[in-house]
């Protein structure tokens, strides 16, 4: 049997999926033991005991200065910024994408601008955002919006243009106006595509968030990572990176589950 026709079962797929992670953990464990054997105070590759102690200190003990539990304070701040930025970007993408996809006059007017904005490197304009909006929360949220909204706008508009032309003809034959075409034909069919676009934008959104927090913030996951790096505190940095990854995976899977539950017809179509 050709390899392209061989599909792993559920158990084999799980094992194959876990193998790369186990290999990385094994390599790290061996390298960490060797470095710590040579120098017990080595900070570059901390052992499990060191990282466990750091997690206990950051996630379960109050900070002596502020009295806050730092890891949860940072998590709450970052998730609030991420949620606000991605939420605003998704709403803008839905509105502009629907208009660009359904109304030729709007597409001629806005599509070139959206395309141009999607090509601008968001991190390049971060200093401009700090100058215009200050160093507060607004500049961090705006960076996420500017970095993710144009791509989602283009994706939603493309989905609208891919809708069967027969549907548009039938609706107009039945007397539907432009508003009814948008709300009754286009909107229900692009919502699941919008959720997929949000899922794909989560990676860049985290990148923009951490970059903004690293430069100008007093709390947040990115702020904490860049704060402790000056002390080479890898026992804190590595757990924070793992925690960010876990949060991203959980958010992605929640959106995936919501998409499957809310729009079963979309997933049944092979999307």
- Give the CATH number of the domain where residue 259 resides: 1.10.3720.10
**What integer pLDDT is reported at residue 182 of this predicted model?**
86
Together in a domain, 207 and 172: yes
Rg of the chain over Cα atoms, rounded to whole angstroms, equals: 23
**What integer pLDDT is reported at residue 270 of this predicted model?**
53
Residue 152 in domain:
yes
Instruction: Pick the range with the lowest mean pLDDT from 21-25, 76-80, 164-168.
Output: 164-168
**What integer pLDDT is reported at residue 64 of this predicted model?**
83
CA 212 to chain centre: 15
Together in a domain, 91 and 130: yes
pLDDT at 101 over 60: yes
Together in a domain, 92 and 138: yes
What is the number of other CB atoms lying within 10 angstroms of the CB of residue 148? 28
Residue labelled with tokens 């699941």: 192
Domain that holds residue 22: 9-39
Residue 44 in domain:
no
72 φ/ψ angles, rounded to the nearest 5 degrees: -75, -35
> What's the rounded Cα separation, in Å, for the pair 120 and 213?
20
Residue 208 in domain:
yes
pLDDT at 99 over 70: yes
Together in a domain, 189 and 139: yes
> What's the rounded Cα separation, in Å, for the pair 247 and 76?
11
Residue 90 in domain:
yes
Together in a domain, 34 and 97: no
Proportion of the chain above pLDDT 90, given as a percent? 52
Domain count within the chain: 2
User: How do residues 58-88 score in pLDDT, each as one tens digit?
Assistant: 998 888 888 889 999 999 999 999 999 999 9
CB 205 within 8 A of CB 83: no
- The pTM (predicted TM-score) of the whole model is 0.87
Residue 2 in domain:
no
Residue 54 in domain:
no
User: How do residues 213-259 score in pLDDT, each as one tens digit?
Assistant: 988 888 999 999 999 888 888 999 999 999 999 999 999 999 999 99
Together in a domain, 26 and 135: no
């Amino acid at each position: 049997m050709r390899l392209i026709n061989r599909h792993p079962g559920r158990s084999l797929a799980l094992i194959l999926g876990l193998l790369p992670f186990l290999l990385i953990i094994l390599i790290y464990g061996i390298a960490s033991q060797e470095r710590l054997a040579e120098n017990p105070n080595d900070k570059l590759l901390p052992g499990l005991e060191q990282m466990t102690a750091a997690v206990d200190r950051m996630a379960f003990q109050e900070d002596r200065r502020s009295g806050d539990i730092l890891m949860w304070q940072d998590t709450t701040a970052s998730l609030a910024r991420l949620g606000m930025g991605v939420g605003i970007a998704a709403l803008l993408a839905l509105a502009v994408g629907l208009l660009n996809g359904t109304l030729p006059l709007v597409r001629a007017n806005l599509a070139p601008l959206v395309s141009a904005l999607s090509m601008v490197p968001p991190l390049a304009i971060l200093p401009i955002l700090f100058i215009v909006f200050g160093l507060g929360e607004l500049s961090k949220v705006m960076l996420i919006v500017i970095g993710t909204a144009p791509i989602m706008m283009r994706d939603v508009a493309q989905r609208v243009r891919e809708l069967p032309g027969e549907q548009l003809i039938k609706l107009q034959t039945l007397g539907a106006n432009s508003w009814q075409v948008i709300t009754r034909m286009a909107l229900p069919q692009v919502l699941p595509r919008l959720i997929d676009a949000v899922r794909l934008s989560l990676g860049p959104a985290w990148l923009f968030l951490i970059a903004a927090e690293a430069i100008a913030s007093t709390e947040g996951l990115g702020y904490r990572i860049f704060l402790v790096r000056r002390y080479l505190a890898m026992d804190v940095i590595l757990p924070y990176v793992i925690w960010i990854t876990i949060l991203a995976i959980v958010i992605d899977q929640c959106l995936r589950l919501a998409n499957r539950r809310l729009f079963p017809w979309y997933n049944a179509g092979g999307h």
